[in-house]
Amino acid sequence: MNGPSQPARVSWDMQWSGPIGRSTVNDDTNRFRLDATETKCVIDWSADGPGDFSFKADPSSSNTTYALVGRERNGVFY
Does the pLDDT value for residue 23 go beyond 80? yes
| H, E, C per residue of the chain | CCCCCCCCEEEEEEEECCCCEEEEEEECCCCEEEEEEEECEEEEEEEECCCCCEEECCHHHCECCCEEEEEEEEHHHC
pLDDT in tens, 29-40: 999 999 999 998
* pLDDT at residue 76, rounded to an integer: 81
* pLDDT at residue 74, rounded to an integer: 92
Residue 59 binned pLDDT confidence (cut-offs 50, 70, 90)? confident
Longest dimension (CA), the chain: 53
Q: pTM to 2 decimals?
A: 0.58
Question: Domain boundaries in the chain?
Answer: 9-72
Does the pLDDT value for residue 48 go beyond 90? yes
